[in-house]
Amino acid sequence: MPTELARAAGTGSSVVVDRCEVCGAAGLEPVLFLGYLPPVNQMRPIGQRPHEQPAYPAELLLCPRCQLVQLGLIVDPAILFPPEYPYTSGTTRILRENFAELQREATSLLGLRGDELVVDVGSNDGTLLESFRAAGHPVCGVEPTLMANLANSRGVRTIMSFFGPAAASRVTAECGRARVVTATNVFAHIEGVHEIVDSVLAMLDDEGVFVTESHYLMALIETLQYDTIYHEHLRHYSLESLSYLFRMHGLEVIHAKRIPTHGGSIRVYAARAGARPVEPSVEQLLAAERQGGPLADRLKAFARRVARSKMELHALLRDPLAGGARMFGVGAPSRASTLINYTGLDRQLLECVVEVSGSYKVGKYMPGTVIPVVDEAALFDEQPELALLLSWHIADELMPKLTARGFRGRYVVPLPQPRIVGGTQ
């Protein structure tokens, strides 16, 4: 078990990763460097003159021993996840459907009874726990942001806290031990991963199961989702690296599968070794990962494709923009910050980014730029020639919707292969 790893929490700053967060190995291999990126959730109000702000190096590293792909810098979570952290899982249809499916799958796979406690780590607005509560389960969430209040007001019991040993003790003291602990889209975000797993184990009963959902390294590689690389995402798991981590804690993966959330994630069930049967899905997914060849080689090819996609995007945009076309961005998810900053799309190229009415991002600048985020009405009122889809991983869902709502321009899909699509102009 690695010891003496520097921790960013409480520093008000960041720490450099010089040994693997999971296995402690030194000699981490650089994979890709995307430059210095601003924190994605510190957006300045429109009109404020640009002033000094932090920027953090975004370098991806591969551990040669446990095959974990991890970020080379850990930023203090107090900077990345302030209480007013704006993300709400309940507002996204694909996430709501995924959570309902998780509840059904867990119930049938684990033979859950309605009186067994379900705990969600990083429970956000309580959307996932709502599914379990509707099935009769007692539930408890742990959530560091003000979303905890929203969850509580909906009747989903939620402790407002960062997760760790203290929060775990509080859960067991107040609610007892859990049959299921879930962590969706947070397990790759928290530093001190061994303490996190130990804290989860302390909450689980003997046959308890830990269910994680994380953005999947193989999806990152396959569809060139380098824009999911930013400082909230400390680790990019494969099933192999995740299994390695769990084995260090006496846990065994009993079921794993790919799911569509966030452009491609994995859902992994882990139980105390020997406590539950292992599904064939585990070996199947591991075999599929191995089929792609050595990870170091795949990541080298990935880095070359990332660079090529940037050049191809500029080549694609050169003629229309030089000819005077206007381009608006559509959607301001966190990943848009990486894409815009890495490709260098500045205010002169990208006039504004539109977001849904009521989003807290409207009225702010995109991180690290002076590109304003404005109400989506602007897209339909002003009809720019080009709409750059910053949530490109759902482009096929977005384009017909925007066209049906009256947008007449063409769409720029920046990844994985930059292309301009459709329109009537």
Binding site for Zn ion (CB under 5 A): 20, 22-23, 25, 63, 65-66, 68
Q: HSE, CB side, 13 Å, CA atoms: give it for residue 383.
A: 9
Phi, psi (deg, nearest 5) at residue 209: -130, 135
Q: Which is nearer to Zn ion, 233 or 410 (CB)?
A: 233
Tell me the closest approach of the beta carbon of residue 298 to Zn ion, in angstroms.
17
For residues 327 and 313, what is the distance between their CA atoms, to the nearest angstrom?
A: 13
Q: Which is nearer to Zn ion, 191 or 227 (CB)?
A: 191
Q: Looking at this protein, which amino acid is placed at residue 164?
A: G
Tell me the closest approach of the beta carbon of residue 243 to Zn ion, in angstroms.
12
Tell me the closest approach of the beta carbon of residue 65 to Zn ion, in angstroms.
5
Q: Which is nearer to Zn ion, 244 or 392 (CB)?
A: 244
Q: Which is nearer to Zn ion, 198 or 351 (CB)?
A: 198
Q: Which is nearer to Zn ion, 137 or 235 (CB)?
A: 235
Tell me the closest approach of the beta carbon of residue 379 to Zn ion, in angstroms.
45
Helices (H), 331-392: 334-343, 377-382
Q: Which is nearer to Zn ion, 198 or 312 (CB)?
A: 198
Tell me the closest approach of the beta carbon of residue 270 to Zn ion, in angstroms.
18
Q: Which is nearer to Zn ion, 20 or 73 (CB)?
A: 20
**Helix crossing, 295-322 with 334-343: angle to 10°?**
70
19-24-29-33 Cα dihedral, nearest 10 degrees: -50
Tell me the closest approach of the beta carbon of residue 26 to Zn ion, in angstroms.
10
For residues 379 and 383, what is the distance between their CA atoms, to the nearest angstrom?
A: 6
Tell me the closest approach of the beta carbon of residue 122 to Zn ion, in angstroms.
23
Enter the DSSP assignment of 117.
Answer: -
| Contact present, 268 and 212 (Cβ < 8 Å) | yes
Which residues lie below 8 Å from residue 23, measured CB to CB, with a gap of 6+? 2, 63, 65, 66, 68, 244, 248
* Beta strand pairing call for 73-75 and 139-143: unpaired
Kindly report the length of the chain: 425
Tell me the closest approach of the beta carbon of residue 19 to Zn ion, in angstroms.
8
Q: Which is nearer to Zn ion, 20 or 190 (CB)?
A: 20
Question: What is the separation, in whole angstroms, between the first and last Cα of the chain?
Answer: 60
Q: Where are the beta strands (DSSP E) in 56-114?
A: 56-62, 69-71, 73-75
94-100, Cβ contacts within 8 angstroms, sequence gap of 24 or more = 94/260, 94/261, 94/394, 95/127, 95/261, 96/127, 98/213, 98/259, 98/260, 98/261, 99/127, 99/128, 99/130, 99/131, 99/184, 100/131
Tell me the closest approach of the beta carbon of residue 22 to Zn ion, in angstroms.
5
For residues 140 and 119, what is the distance between their CA atoms, to the nearest angstrom?
A: 5
Helix (H) or strand (E) holding 32: strand 29-37
Tell me the closest approach of the beta carbon of residue 211 to Zn ion, in angstroms.
23
Q: Which is nearer to Zn ion, 66 or 299 (CB)?
A: 66
For residues 28 and 16, what is the distance between their CA atoms, to the nearest angstrom?
A: 12
Q: Which is nearer to Zn ion, 196 or 317 (CB)?
A: 196
